[in-house]
Structure 1
Amino acid sequence: MILEHVAIWTGQLEQLKAYYIKYFGAVPNEKYTNEKKQFQSYFLSFQSGARLEIMSMPNIPDNQNDTIKAQYKGIIHLAFGVDTVQEVEAKAKQLQEDGFQVLSGPRKTGDGYYEFETLDPDNNRLEVTCPYPQ
């Protein structure tokens, strides 16, 4: 069994699509629109086969997770895997240079990974991680 996709509500569908294309190599499908429900979505496919569905519809409330400390139960982050420590560091540098906040790291974790945590344009938490070399 595989995890088929994860879905995210957004108020800025095109901006979020562009972010995941630019920084994470996503490949979008054609936009789906349901005029009756005022619903629009894209499926973004990644090299691994994983997919992210980004969706927009009026009157969806904002995410309540704080960008620094306050978190709520439920899905809290998406993790993107790379092969090397250098790739983790390069992605952190690229995002910082483009004005995105790095919340923590890059750092070695206690469970054997090297990672940093950041936010996408909707303040969804993301990690970029790789196994820490032994």
Structure 2
Amino acid sequence: MKIEHLGLFVADLEAAKDFYTKYFDGQAGPKYHNPRTGFSSYFINLAEGARLELCHKADLPQVATERLGLAHLAFNLGSKEAVVTDLEGNLLELTI
């Protein structure tokens, strides 16, 4: 079994897409939008088959910094090790 993808809600969908494609060499698929629900998303295809779904819905409340759920997202870069944040403060663990 493998994890098919990880979904991450973001406040600025286009900026998040640009961030993950630029800094993690991701390939963005076409934008999905459901006009009935207001939900939009992009799938970002990363190297070695991992996929990240960036999700947005305008009427969702902002999330508190202390919460249950996703703690961080980790990427194995093979050359650097660090913990950084993305544009919206989500923790990204970079490992070697």
TM-score by length of 1: 0.68
Alignment check: 8 A CA contact 1:9 1:60 kept? no
Match of 1:76 among 71, 75, 78: 71
CA shift at 1:62, angstroms?
A: 1.4
Matched letter for residue 125 of structure 1: L
Matched letter for residue 72 of structure 1: R
Question: Which runs of no fewer than 5 residues in structure 1 stay unpaired?
Answer: 66-70, 89-114
Aligned to 1:20: 20
TM-score by length of 2: 0.93
Matched letter for residue 94 of structure 2: V
Aligned to 2:52: 52
Equivalents in 1 of 2:60, 2:85: separation in Å?
20
Equivalents in 1 of 2:84, 2:15: separation in Å?
17
Higher relative CO (Cα under 8 Å, sequence separation at least 6) belongs to 2
Identical aligned pairs, as a percentage? 35
CA shift at 1:82, angstroms?
A: 1.8
Cα RMSD for the two superposed structures: 1.1
Query: What SS does structure 2 have at the residue aligned with 1:16?
Result: helix
Matched letter for residue 63 of structure 1: V
Question: Which runs of no fewer than 5 residues in structure 2 stay unpaired?
Answer: none
CA shift at 1:74, angstroms?
A: 2.4
Deviating beyond 2 angstroms after TM superposition, the runs of 4 or more aligned structure 1 residues are 71-74
Equivalents in 2 of 1:82, 1:58: separation in Å?
32
| Structure whose alpha-carbon radius of gyration is higher | 1
Equivalents in 2 of 1:56, 1:5: separation in Å?
16
CA shift at 1:23, angstroms?
A: 0.5
Give the alignment of 1:1-134 within 5 angstroms.
1-65=1-65, 71-83=66-78, 87-88=79-80, 115-130=81-96
Equivalents in 2 of 1:75, 1:11: separation in Å?
16
Higher helix share: 1
Equivalents in 2 of 1:42, 1:126: separation in Å?
19
